Structure 1
């Protein structure tokens, strides 16, 4: 019997992500997907004979269920993009998503799994709000499972995480292209994996441009507005302050704006600033903040598609894959060319 083409096959043929194929095939509007990309995806689908459609033909009261276990929902604003992205993608396949907040408590995880296994559950999205290594419950070994925003050392399940290193590189590269050479980095706490990766991207970009890394321009101070304000004040008090700042997240960038403006300086004419996360507040800052997008919706869509393929027995051989979704730079108004007198 001829193997049925999947979204993974279409993605490989078109040279795009599985999430992009899903957006195109289901007619979902997304400004990141160009008309040329849409045409390429449709052409690949036609060549492979791929046809979208519900994977499960069951009565409404027996619609299949995906369980989404997430450790936190309140500490950052990013739980909802995960939940909504998974829900929307699953709905396109006539599947329901049931969400449980477990606080990483094994007892709560087991209770949630007990309920899900009593339902028409077809798979589990095991999710963390911050990117980190986990050990998924052993009970998931015999259940189609995808790890979302986390991964296992043993690689027992497919996983999807954001490309934080590349995102940090893109943010720093944008400042370098604007002529900046004294670029500070306000980094997150050392225990945060995303902080380590974004700093790595920052360092790689400087190295690529043959710009010496000045350790005095790399400051650690959490991820809050207050932290960003305090660290930027320290930088402005230094003998040779930076002309640009790359912040671990948008909240630190808010603090950086405050400190810069309190000195009578302007963003971006005097100091350029780039954030990370693309929180809603970024586009409302004055000037609007250039930042790096965390692709939570795209990650969730990829996870659901992979889970459904796994449930259909299509991608079992891909169980060890760990996918990183691109974190694109969103350029707004906070980057300005460095004055020619300050160019290195």
Structure 2
């Protein structure tokens, strides 16, 4: 690296940062020139030597509930992009919302000497893993936030409010919500924002389905149960993510109801597929990429002993055919 610095006419520390792609402290043109020189001269960095010198592995641990969840996949992709731009790599583990699996996963990541952790799987009342309570390891929360720690999440209370206000403005007064898992703060906050707004409207009837999960079958089962009591079906249903909204829609169609005309359905997260369903789905959109980038960038700020700040993103409602017809 010293020889490479002499060739480039730069300090060794600047060359080191340029090779890591640290565009926070090195100009893009300098990074390109140093990396080109490195390729021309056959320079290969020794990560073990760098780790020994810095005391860091330049590895971030990311803990998610499920790898099969599209939204978690979007968050992880954004985290990895931001980490790589700062010279770090990420490694991902899934806990399946199981406390014992989470404990084992975090112990494994600590054993591999990650420089910091991004927790995307927190459960209400059990946000901070016991291994981190008195540990010097930097960590932040993403997707599912935590009031007392650095968090990168959506204002899900506001997101739930947006859906309720939209239903009420369209004339709906018999309204149901499919709440999702009770341990997930995202679900709880969305339901809180939604139910508070509906209950403030005089004459509105609110039905809350039993707690379930975030899967397609959870939405299907919840609506099937709502329709089984022989009462008139609700005219509008809010589901706390798009997967449950898809399942709920199928149950309504199976019962002979038309989405958007007989019963309005709204979801949350605005998955790419949601705009292309047979009846395009109204959904709440949050900038997931921005969330993941910020989580990684601010964690690295902590790791490198600088100040970091939380980010709570305001979502917006994307109205499509599943809710666009006013109730007469």
Q: Tell me, yes or no, if the aligned pair for 1:134 and 1:150 is still in contact at 8 Å.
A: no
2:296 pairs with 1:304: yes
**1:130, 1:296 → 2: CA distance?**
17
**2:225, 2:62 → 1: CA distance?**
41
Q: What is the TM-score with the length of structure 1 in the denominator?
A: 0.68
**1:230, 1:144 → 2: CA distance?**
41
2:217 pairs with 1:218: no
Q: Tell me, yes or no, if the aligned pair for 2:59 and 2:116 is still in contact at 8 Å.
A: yes
Deviation at residue 232 of structure 1 after TM alignment: 2.6
**2:277, 2:224 → 1: CA distance?**
19
State the match for 2:120 in structure 1.
Answer: 128
Residues 328 and 97 (structure 1 numbering): CA distance in 2 closer, same or farther, change over 3 Å?
A: farther
Larger Cα-atom Rg: 2
Q: Tell me, yes or no, if the aligned pair for 2:119 and 2:139 is still in contact at 8 Å.
A: no
Q: Tell me, yes or no, if the aligned pair for 1:100 and 1:112 is still in contact at 8 Å.
A: no
**Aligned-residue CA RMSD (Å):** 3.2
Residues 150 and 291 (structure 1 numbering): CA distance in 2 closer, same or farther, change over 3 Å?
A: closer
Q: Tell me, yes or no, if the aligned pair for 1:186 and 1:245 is still in contact at 8 Å.
A: yes
Give the alignment partner of residue 193 of structure 2, picking from 196, 201, 207. 201
Give the alignment partner of residue 107 of structure 2, picking from 105, 110, 124. 110
Q: Tell me, yes or no, if the aligned pair for 1:124 and 1:143 is still in contact at 8 Å.
A: yes
Q: Tell me, yes or no, if the aligned pair for 2:159 and 2:317 is still in contact at 8 Å.
A: yes
Local SS of the residue matching 2:120: strand
Local SS of the residue matching 2:142: strand
Residues 131 and 169 (structure 1 numbering): CA distance in 2 closer, same or farther, change over 3 Å?
A: farther
1:280-300 C-alpha deviation (Å, 9 max, x unpaired):
432221111111235432221
Local SS of the residue matching 2:89: strand
Q: What is the TM-score with the length of structure 2 in the denominator?
A: 0.71
Structure 1 residues without counterparts, runs of 5 or longer: 1-51, 118-122
**2:226, 2:105 → 1: CA distance?**
45
Aligned pairs for 1:125-204 (under 5 A) are 125-129=117-121, 132=124, 133-136=126-129, 137-138=131-132, 141-150=135-144, 155=148, 157-204=149-196
**1:270, 1:330 → 2: CA distance?**
20
**1:107, 1:114 → 2: CA distance?**
10
Local SS of the residue matching 1:273: strand
1:222-262 C-alpha deviation (Å, 9 max, x unpaired):
23333323433444454343211111222222222223223
Give the alignment partner of residue 63 of structure 2, picking from 65, 70, 82. 70
Structure 2 residues without counterparts, runs of 5 or longer: 1-21, 36-43, 51-56, 96-100
Deviation at residue 203 of structure 1 after TM alignment: 1.4
Residues 78 and 206 (structure 1 numbering): CA distance in 2 closer, same or farther, change over 3 Å?
A: same
State the match for 2:79 in structure 1.
Answer: 86
1:310-338 C-alpha deviation (Å, 9 max, x unpaired):
3444316x5xxx54322322222211333
State the match for 1:228 in structure 2.
Answer: 219
**1:73, 1:339 → 2: CA distance?**
38
Deviation at residue 182 of structure 1 after TM alignment: 1.7
Give the alignment partner of residue 247 of structure 2, picking from 255, 271, 279. 255
How many equivalent pairs are there?
275
**1:189, 1:90 → 2: CA distance?**
30
State the match for 1:53 in structure 2.
Answer: 23
